[in-house]
Structure 1
Amino acid sequence: MDKLIINSGAREKRAAFIHKGKIEQLEISRAGGQSLVGSIFFGIVTKVLPGMNAAFVDIGTGKNAYLHRNGLPEYIQSEAPDKEKKSISAFVRQGERLLVQVEKDEAGSKGAKVTGIIEVTGTHLVYMPSGNYMAVSKKIADSARREELRQLGAEMRMGAEGVLFRTSAGEALDSELIEEIGELRRAAGELFQKAVSLKKPGPVAERDPFVEQLVPLIEKMAGGEIVVDDPELLSELKKRTSKGGGGPSFSYYSGKENIFALHGADQEIGKLLKRVVWLENGAYLLVEETETLTAIDVNTGKFSGKSSLEETVLKTNLLAVEEITRQIRLRDLAGVILVDFIDMKSEEDRAKVAAKMEADLRKDGRRTRVVGFTSLGILQITRKRLGPSLSGTLTSKCPSCEGTGRISSPETEAFKLERELWEHRGALDEAVLVETTPEVKAVFEGEGKAHLKRLEDSLGFKILIVPIGSAVHFYTIRQFGTEDELRTKADNTY
């Protein structure tokens, strides 16, 4: 039975969708660090770049947001036949005050991506005060009802408004939809009034991204169970996702044990931060995430197969596709993703793998594109980025390796120490006191301390080394002085 486990009692809110005992979707929202996608800001244009057809907008978050010409109401509403040839300067100027909505969160050094086409979301409709657009959800199965909604939309729209009928509109009464668009118009009017009163850039309307992420997930569930540890959230979700009979059941969890730990979700999240992902047949994936792209390497590992080599390779690669698409969803990998499958000689086998990847990613809901195999046999994928990946949310850069995942070796530190001590050759002091790890000490001294003795003879002073346990290899030159003084200090201190 499918389950949606929601942990909302603390400042970090989490939800895990479990299908056949495995997490298939994960949502995490943190106080002070949650997604701003969908939030509406009052901003001021700080720079217009005609060459990029874009502008930078100060929205009060610390980093200027990026606004493309195609996201400006003036451009959308323009009926000029040559509007596409006009630069952004024809539609916006520096210093202009705008109401914008976040489309994509800031990531790294880049600010958020915003649009001037504001969307106000209701139960059955999405209303755009200046969207100049009308659409009906393709998920409404009844074609006759879709046509009725198109006609209703044409009647309801005023001026350059935009209206999108959500899937639930297919079951709603026309009178309900007419009433709702009136409510959304009033809500939009209040937003613009609030923006006028603001003197500096800042938020006008901030949405709860956690609830917004859960609603479509619940609406997809045909059955199963939703377990929530927060009674207020439970009530809100019931109200927002009332589907009548046939939907999932809701229950409140009041136990002392953390709900994620109880269902094994915490352990699964821990696995999502590791580089190695084991497949059921003994093969494994190696996931390397960088700031610019993600590389995934498929390896046969312990799997040797019982048939021909070509068949073994194809089976492993197809099995890998299932896990790769799951990892992409759960880790929220985005941007450029490169997958190095086990080498396939047959173009037919490559086509099967690419087709399965495309079909599995189609279930994702995020805009994703399978570009195809390169001449080196690497499958290229692009996925729309909305915010930081799971590792970007749950981890920070190691201060020692600065995010490379690697630290300096004992040999490197030993040779650096040797070079630094050579700079003190001929010093008048009798000895030097050095702290370092046991591994660096062993390399520095050499077998039987032969290298240490040769170095002391060449430098003209004794080298006293104190081993300090550490996971990161290092050395520190503590002090120069007399041999007796430093030996006494070492004995008394360490």
Structure 2
Amino acid sequence: MSDEILINVTPPETRVAVVENGVLQDVMIERARSRGLVGNIYKGRVCRVLPGMQAVFVDVGLERAAFLHVSDLNAAEREKAVDNQIELVFREGQDLVVQVVKDPIGAKGARLTTEVSVPSVYQVYMPYAKVSGVSQRIECDAERARLRACVEGFQRDHNTGGFIVRTAAEGVDEAALRADMLFLQKLWNSIAQRIKTVKVKTLLHEDLPLAMRVLRDLHCSKVEKIRVDSRETYSRLLKFGKEFVTETVPLIEHYSGERPLFDLYGVEEEIQRALERKVALKSGGYLIFDQTEAMTTVDVNTGAFVGGRNLEETIFKTNLEAAQTIARQLRLRNLGGIIIIDFIDMQDEDHKQQVLQALSKSLEKDHAKNSISEVSALGLVEMTRKRTRESLEHVLCEPCPTCSGRGMLKTAETVCLEIFREIIREVRQYNVQELLVLASNEVVERLLDEEADMLSELETFLNVTVKFRAEAQYNQEQYDVVLL
């Protein structure tokens, strides 16, 4: 099986699926009305300095002010911020150039950095930095030394900022690398000219559309095919590839089949499953994902898996399979921040280490930075995964208007008892003889059936007549008590 990148394009949105060995690993979605902001460079203005948070809010023209923390300053600014005193660097009303490193998520504004960078195929250029580096994914010491020498030589010849050599540069000849660095330098020079002339709250540089970013960032030796179902986007990708990523040109194919591209690979079904709480394991066990604003929890259960020799072996095998599935699901669902994994308790220390190693190994393919803790005494593993964009659930879904995102509704019995208390409250406050209760069909039916005796006793005790009307548009928790 080959690793493939599938690109589905319609006027409202572009979707990209990364399929590795026939299994969906990643989904990226960009909608025309809400393109991501990560990588965009703005000329902004400081609107508030918060010494207690070691941060400032910056107005870059977005709906909410963006957030800049002292840890995201460039090297020169960090030197000025003695003991992280950001007020020594910025003042309200000051103009500055910033770049978005994290999209607005929920009620939070975008997160910014002043360590501006511009990416290309082989390098990332950092105009305000002086040091350069090589991607840690390039493991060969000789190749790392060659790439570093190439970059440092270009820096000396052209008096430029710093460069980070990307994984795609491995094995690329020096001429292509220098041409790439020259392109980045020219691009930054054009941005620098705009900085001098444009007004504040102006977008200086916007990152490429999703399809082009994929070609730039995701191509590697493992990718054997890039299939796109839009002829227009196919032509753009070919043009972009010929100019910047020549090695990808033979991989790009236009898909013109009658069956939708994502259906052909089962991607649509996988996306639907990635929105569910429960994830089945092949062994018969299952995982439960609960995403909250503070963190994501993952619960591992043996389910129908009874195992073989003994309970410890059954638990160990379930946890091993869960570790691999969790790594894939985190990437597919794009879950970030704090993640708590509740593995089934293991007694054997060697088993704990093997499960941790399996999780760590499975996360190696993840492009998002992550870190994992040891297994706690309760069998919990704490980990973090860098979040730069909304999760798949937040992109495709919204909170349920009925339960307000709680995932639970009060029972009809609970609502009936609330209505009884409200009737008592109304009668005692207004001394009325007749009331009308508006509620959902389920609640009214229960009031007139299971709760009929209780209702009769209440009417007699309060000397009041209660009428009911079912409202089809009311959810199970909604009701009104109207004075007649």
Fold equivalence (TM over 0.5): yes
Tell me, yes or no, if structure 1 residue 72 matches structure 2 residue 76. no
Tell me, yes or no, if structure 1 residue 89 matches structure 2 residue 87. yes
- Partners of 2:135 and 2:431 lie apart in 1 by 84
CA contact (8 A) 2:319 2:343 kept: yes
Given residue 98 of structure 2, which amino acid in structure 1 is its aligned partner? V
CA contact (8 A) 2:43 2:199 kept: no
**3-state DSSP of counterpart to 1:193:** helix
Given residue 24 of structure 1, which amino acid in structure 2 is its aligned partner? Q
Report how far residue 188 of structure 1 moved: 1.2
**3-state DSSP of counterpart to 2:320:** helix
- Partners of 1:475 and 1:90 lie apart in 2 by 54
Taking structure 1 as reference, are residues 231 and 363 closer, same or farther at Cα in structure 2, changes over 3 Å only? same
> Structure 2: which 5+ residue stretches go unaligned?
none
- Partners of 2:413 and 2:326 lie apart in 1 by 37
The residue correspondences of 1:477-492 to structure 2 (distance < 5 A) are 477=480, 480-481=483-484
CA contact (8 A) 2:57 2:65 kept: yes
Which residue of structure 1 aligns with residue 39 of structure 2? 38
The residue correspondences of 1:284-295 to structure 2 (distance < 5 A) are 284-295=286-297
Report how far residue 213 of structure 1 moved: 4.7
Report how far residue 395 of structure 1 moved: 0.8
Tell me, yes or no, if structure 1 residue 136 matches structure 2 residue 134. yes
What CA deviation, in whole Å up to 9, does each residue of 1:274-323 have, x standing for no partner?
Answer: 11111111111111110110111111111111220100010011111111
Report how far residue 71 of structure 1 moved: 3.7
Report how far residue 430 of structure 1 moved: 5.7
Given residue 357 of structure 1, which amino acid in structure 2 is its aligned partner? L
Tell me, yes or no, if structure 1 residue 439 matches structure 2 residue 442. yes
Length-normalised TM-score, structure 2 = 0.89
Which residue of structure 2 aligns with residue 315 of structure 1? 317
Taking structure 1 as reference, are residues 131 and 217 closer, same or farther at Cα in structure 2, changes over 3 Å only? closer
Given residue 455 of structure 1, which amino acid in structure 2 is its aligned partner? L
Which residue of structure 1 aligns with residue 356 of structure 2? 354
Tell me, yes or no, if structure 1 residue 156 matches structure 2 residue 132. no
CA contact (8 A) 1:64 1:112 kept: yes
Report how far residue 104 of structure 1 moved: 1.4
Report how far residue 97 of structure 1 moved: 1.1
Taking structure 1 as reference, are residues 471 and 363 closer, same or farther at Cα in structure 2, changes over 3 Å only? farther
Which residue of structure 2 aligns with residue 329 of structure 1? 331
Which residue of structure 2 aligns with residue 416 of structure 1? 418
Tell me, yes or no, if structure 1 residue 453 matches structure 2 residue 456. yes
What CA deviation, in whole Å up to 9, does each residue of 1:322-349 have, x standing for no partner?
Answer: 1111110111111111111112122222
What CA deviation, in whole Å up to 9, does each residue of 1:15-67 have, x standing for no partner?
Answer: 11223443111111112323211111111122333444432211111222222
What CA deviation, in whole Å up to 9, does each residue of 1:382-401 have, x standing for no partner?
Answer: 11111211111111112222
Which residue of structure 1 aligns with residue 275 of structure 2? 273
Which residue of structure 1 aligns with residue 396 of structure 2? 394
- Partners of 1:232 and 1:143 lie apart in 2 by 42
Which residue of structure 2 aligns with residue 123 of structure 1? 121
**3-state DSSP of counterpart to 1:398:** coil
Aligned length: 478
- Partners of 1:19 and 1:155 lie apart in 2 by 37
- Partners of 1:386 and 1:118 lie apart in 2 by 16
Taking structure 1 as reference, are residues 151 and 424 closer, same or farther at Cα in structure 2, changes over 3 Å only? closer
Given residue 462 of structure 1, which amino acid in structure 2 is its aligned partner? T
Taking structure 1 as reference, are residues 236 and 464 closer, same or farther at Cα in structure 2, changes over 3 Å only? same
Q: Which of 276, 297, 300 is equivalent to 1:298?
A: 300
**3-state DSSP of counterpart to 2:327:** helix
Report how far residue 8 of structure 1 moved: 1.1
What CA deviation, in whole Å up to 9, does each residue of 1:185-239 have, x standing for no partner?
Answer: 2221221222232223131111135135523664235354322112232234345
Bigger mean CA deviation after superposition, 378-387 or 213-222: 213-222
Given residue 373 of structure 1, which amino acid in structure 2 is its aligned partner? V
- Partners of 1:351 and 1:476 lie apart in 2 by 54
Given residue 454 of structure 2, which amino acid in structure 1 is its aligned partner? H
- Partners of 2:62 and 2:93 lie apart in 1 by 17
Given residue 465 of structure 1, which amino acid in structure 2 is its aligned partner? F
